[in-house]
């Protein structure tokens, strides 16, 4: 449906031990066989639950199946609720696992074809390579990293693409409004990128257009946003986490809000997030309005 509507890309969220997509790479492998043009992304795969060696093999395989359309996004850090399942995930090493950005560097090296084995040659009828197989040309350049201020700086230094989302941290800033903080993150990313003219930043916010929604749908969307609004008012936790308000309204109203948003003003790509728990008819209405109303209001033209 998204490809038929002319979207440039579609992105899957990753959810472990939740009622969502636990294996986006597997789902995107299937999507490669049902699509021909649209780019396929992950926003994001938490590397704390992945082996960069094996993940590189899977990503390269899916990229080749897609004809070079994969846009893998990753993040690092201790997995959410790690203590609840660490014995099942890493029974022998859960206390010494490295959840730092080294995991990203390992994945990046694997995607670039750097050696991982000391042996290359033939044993009987079996051939062995030094690097991860298969290799997918250009995939490493399409790797995205998701995070906040420090991550933005680091992603820029590494020449990675940068994913922003509906969550920021007030660490390192005096600003207390979401848009300004997100803009600061984007500026930090571009300032540290070796080739800022080629730097890619994508903004992900929950955006719900109501142009073709029924009155009942529109009321439900507004109630959903209202139920989540309280968390956007005050930073929480030691890092001062802030959430962006969900944006609900007609495409003209949403376009006005986004054009005034300091984060939106600094990006060339957006990946609007769909809310959880809605019905299929709701999602069809939302993505149709995104393609036929909001996109054109923002200056975007559907692909053909």
pLDDT in tens, 211-244: 999 999 999 999 999 999 999 999 999 899 999 9
Is 292 inside any structural domain? no
Is 202 inside any structural domain? no
> Per the omega criterion (within 30 degrees of 0), is the bond before 134 cis?
yes
What pLDDT band is residue 276 in, cutting at 50, 70 and 90?
confident
Q: Output the DSSP codes for 206-242.
A: BEEE-TT--HHHHHHHHHHHHHTTGGGSS-BTTTTEE
Is 270 inside any structural domain? no
- Are 293 and 211 within 8 A, CB to CB? yes
pTM, rounded to two decimals: 0.96
Is 7 inside any structural domain? yes
Number of domains in the chain: 1
Is 259 inside any structural domain? no
Is 73 inside any structural domain? yes
Is 241 inside any structural domain? no
The whole-number average pLDDT for the span 174-196 is: 95
Q: Output the domain CATH number for residue 69.
A: 3.20.20.30
> What is the residue range of 16's domain?
1-116+132-146
pLDDT at 203: 97
pLDDT in tens, 13-44: 999 999 999 999 999 999 999 999 999 999 99
pLDDT at 304 over 90: no
High-pLDDT (> 70) share of the chain, %: 100
Is 190 inside any structural domain? no
pLDDT at 201 over 90: yes
The whole-number average pLDDT for the span 275-295 is: 96
- Are 213 and 221 within 8 A, CB to CB? yes
């Amino acid at each position: 449906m998204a490809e038929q509507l002319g979207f440039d890309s579609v992105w899957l969220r990753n959810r472990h031990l939740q009622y969502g997509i636990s294996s986006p790479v597997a789902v995107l492998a299937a999507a490669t066989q049902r699509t021909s043009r649209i780019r396929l992304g992950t926003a994001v795969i938490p590397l704390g639950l992945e082996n960069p060696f094996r993940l590189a093999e899977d990503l390269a395989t899916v990229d080749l199946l897609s004809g070079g359309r994969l846009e893998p996004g990753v993040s690092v850090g201790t997995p959410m609720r790690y203590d609840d399942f660490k014995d099942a995930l890493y029974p022998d090493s859960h206390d010494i696992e490295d959840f730092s950005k080294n995991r990203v560097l390992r994945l990046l090296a694997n995607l670039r074809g750097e050696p991982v084995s000391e042996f290359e040659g033939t044993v009987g009828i079996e051939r062995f390579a030094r690097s991860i197989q298969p290799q997918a040309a250009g995939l490493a350049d399409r790797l995205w990293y998701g995070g906040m201020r420090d991550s933005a700086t680091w992603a820029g230094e590494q020449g990675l693409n940068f994913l922003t989302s509906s969550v920021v941290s007030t660490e390192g800033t005096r600003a207390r409004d979401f848009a300004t903080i997100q803009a600061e993150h984007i500026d930090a990313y571009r300032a540290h990128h070796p080739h800022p003219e080629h730097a890619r930043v994508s903004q992900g916010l929950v955006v719900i257009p109501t142009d073709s929604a029924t009155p009942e749908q529109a009321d439900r969307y507004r109630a959903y946003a209202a139920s989540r609004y309280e968390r956007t008012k005050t930073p929480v936790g030691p890092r001062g986490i802030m959430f962006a308000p969900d944006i609900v309204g007609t495409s003209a109203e949403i376009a006005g809000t986004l054009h005034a948003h300091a984060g939106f003003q600094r990006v060339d790509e957006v990946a609007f997030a769909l809310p959880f728990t809605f019905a299929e008819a709701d999602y069809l209405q939302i993505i149709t309005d995104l393609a036929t109303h909001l996109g054109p209001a923002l200056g975007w033209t559907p692909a053909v």
